[in-house]
Amino acid sequence: MCYFGVTELVREFDSFQKAALRRIPKGRLLLDKNAPYFRPLQASANTPAFIGEVALEVSRVRGETVEEVLEFTSANACILYQM
C-alpha cells in the first residue's frame, strides 16, 4: 500500500502540487508534522499539536471540511500503523 503524507509545506504548494493533492484518494492521504522540522512561523517549537493547521490547509485545497480531513486521515493512520 502507498500513502502520501502532507506536511505544513502544503501552504507553499504551487498550482501543480495543489492539483496533485486534490487527486490523492481519501484512503491514501496522511497528515504529517515532521516535528521539529516544519515549525509554524508563530511557534518557537513544533509539536504534533499543530496537526490541525495542516488539516485546515489540506481541507482548503481539497474543498473538504477540516472534520472530514481529520476523520479520513486518522482512519488511514490507524490502518497503516495497525492500531
Structural domain spans, the chain: 4-80
Q: For 6-59, write each residue's pLDDT tens digit.
A: 988 899 999 999 999 999 999 999 998 865 666 666 666 777 788 898 999 999
- Give the residue among 46, 73, 47 at the shortest CA–CA distance from 59: 73
Residue 47: the pLDDT is 74
* pTM, to two decimals: 0.86
Rounded to whole angstroms, the Cα distance separating 70 from 83 reads: 16
